[in-house]
Chains A and B, each alone.
Chain A
């Protein structure tokens, strides 16, 4: 599904990613962990196509196609989704209206008929139960005045509506209380399936108790320095990151 080879990325003359290799297959869940500022969000944003970043080397293939050649909105319509670490507020734009525009943009792209207001409300009803999204949240402006937890739930709700093939969740667990964490994890778990790949960026092993990953990677100073199974997360929880940087030799260092 996603093949990242030696990806190097700069922003404002700062080299952030120094050579990331990552291979994610359909059906898999990968977790990416790593210290603050190591480049996790940058990786997620580059996959989504944020214009602030300049790719200085390497390549990213999505379903065999050059992902970096595609516009961000095209990527989204082709099934790439990113849950934002800091979801953006858009004043005056009704949340339900925004979601409908997003769903229909994708349907149109795929040659499916656009949903009318009634059909869309049906879809919303079904998915909102799952993530405990209430009517009031749908009628408010996009993310405006949402609590931190509400914003994160709203992100996963959007993922549920858009049914992406590749989802990158950037610290969706941070700021969630324990109940909300379970709700969000349950939402993500229902999305797991043989045709979908999910990358979760997190600092906490706790999330991975609920969303059990197939692979765990550690990103440090702009590259993946260690990969392993779900036990790696436990180990990191106990020992922190320093042992990797000192103990294990990062590839090519």
Chain B
């Protein structure tokens, strides 16, 4: 098998085409974290006193917390005093239109394929663009406002809809939730806010595009989405960062709330800089995402395609509180070169007749380590709860690893829980079969991997499914020689 291992194993340099740096005049505060920094961030954003109080409580709690170490990933300790907690492109005054935006920032998004002029966008997708610590543009706002939909940066929402923010902020992920959630609550700088009123079906995809640009800067954004009774929204986030030799920290919090009969689809295409082929640099992606199915027959679907980051650590989960509510998690995570991912979901069944589906596809290449970690908890009042989990792993080469840790806690005997798991090696024979039909090795790998991920890709909105497929092929580039 020596020749075949060789064929499969040749790790080449993959290119990360989003790795450029934009030269902008930025308002950046010095490195380090203390109460004054928290106050400064709050002040820069002109926040009300209650929010500053909330941040400070989070900060003080964070000081007493320990960084978690149970995950199946390895990294050198993070020096939290060596991070810049706020950096924003300078602007002279409040922006009234996109024309007033820093042309460099705007060019950045153009280069990333995210044009911010409304007419140029994908038909039917509204975008909020976050550059380092702040949101720089939100498109289609007026059109959405006609239906009562609020889609704006988090900072604006704090100013314009304080009652909504106050009501829901921390209601799903309290600042005390975990180490990184507490850190985020103390220093979060921006993010997106969405509110869909009763009975409204959001007529377009909403999307936030996150870009880390500044050096030594952490990105700590918060996203809060509330779908009122009978509302529907599909939301997508994408992210990229420049190539840098140092690791950068991204610690976000996402909270979703679905009331009676409401549906939220949340899709992520995560393509932070993964580090180079020797494992130098890359983003630490430590994220807390949780959805609350608060109402009866509500539904939350998480779909994620995780191709970037040097370390990914996240478990988008659902709390199925309303009776008949549904939680879904569809995930593709790839790790190539020295990337590590420990990801999965938590499905917490509280209401009766609640259902959850978990489909996880892990792909490991190079020295990549891919861990699925999932919790299914069926509470004692969750009569007739059902869960179906499927965790498939694919290995490319023999230096990578796949690990599966499913946790089950069942306190109601009427529960039905099914778990299936498989591990396969991308076969030399499959690749040869494709090549014998004239298909190149690279196309063959892409085809086989896409086939493997099909159940997840079909959950993504059309435009993004194509994007995701492309990303996947870039992220595995060079994994098979």
Contacts and interface: CB of A to CB of B under 8 A. Distances in A.
B466 to A, nearest CB: 14
The residue in A51, A73, A75, A109 that gathers the most chain B C-beta atoms within 10 A of its C-beta is A73
A105 B450 contact: no
B167 to A, nearest CB: 43
Q: How extensive is the interface on chain A, given as a class?
A: 20 to 34
A102 B448 CA distance: 14
A73 B427 contact: no
B215 to A, nearest CB: 41
Interface string A44-70: 000011111010000000000000000
Contacts of A158: 437
A11 B86 CA distance: 60
B432 interface: yes
A73 B435 contact: yes
Given A12-B1, A51-B4, A54-B3, A72 B436 contact: yes
Interface stretch (B31-39, B407-415, B451-459): B451-459
Interface string B429-445: 11011111111110100
A162 B450 contact: no
A76 B433 contact: no
B451 A91 contact: yes
A216 interface: no
A76 B435 CA distance: 7
Interface stretch (A81-89, A175-183, A219-227): A81-89
A52 B4 contact: yes
B451 A92 contact: yes
Given A51-B428, A92-B453, A105-B440, 13 more contacts: A50-B432, A51-B3, A51-B4, A72-B432, A73-B434, A81-B436, A82-B436, A88-B427, A90-B430, A92-B450, A98-B434, A101-B437, A141-B451
B417 interface: no
A71 B450 CA distance: 24
Interface of A: 12, 48-52, 54, 71-73, 75-77, 81-82, 84, 87-88, 90-93, 98, 101-102, 105-106, 109, 141, 158, 162
21 contacts: A51-B428, A51-B432, A72-B432, A72-B435, A72-B436, A73-B434, A73-B436, A73-B440, A76-B436, A76-B438, A84-B433, A87-B433, A90-B430, A90-B433, A92-B455, A93-B448, A93-B450, A101-B439, A101-B447, A105-B440, A162-B437
B452 A71 contact: no
Nearest to A84: B433
A106 B439 CA distance: 8
B451 A102 contact: no
10 nearest A-B residue pairs (beta carbon): A92-B451, A93-B451, A102-B437, A76-B438, A105-B438, A88-B433, A92-B454, A73-B435, A72-B435, A77-B438
B438 A73 contact: yes
B28 interface: no
A101 B435 CA distance: 11
A236 to B, nearest CB: 29
A109 B453 CA distance: 29
B7 interface: yes
Nearest to A108: B438
Interface residues of B, number: 27
B428 A52 contact: yes
B190 to A, nearest CB: 38
B437 A52 contact: no
Interface string B84-124: 00000000000000000000000000000000000000000
Contacts of A109: 438
Contacts of B439: 73, 98, 101-102, 105
A105 B454 CA distance: 22
A245 B125 CA distance: 74
A91 B433 CA distance: 13
A72 B439 CA distance: 9
Considering residues B4, B433, B436, B455, which has the most beta carbons from chain A within 10 angstroms of its beta carbon?
Answer: B436
Given A12-B1, A51-B3, A73-B440, A91 B452 contact: yes
Contacts of A98: 434, 437, 439, 447
A214 B139 CA distance: 72
Contacts of B7: 51
Interface string B152-178: 000000000000000000000000000
Nearest to B444: A73
A75 B455 CA distance: 33
A77 B454 CA distance: 28
Nearest to B361: A92
B4 to A, nearest CB: 6
B430 A88 contact: yes
A222 B443 CA distance: 34
A73 B452 contact: no
Contacts of A162: 437-438
B456 to A, nearest CB: 10
Contacts of B433: 84, 87-88, 90
A92 B435 contact: no
Nearest to B452: A92
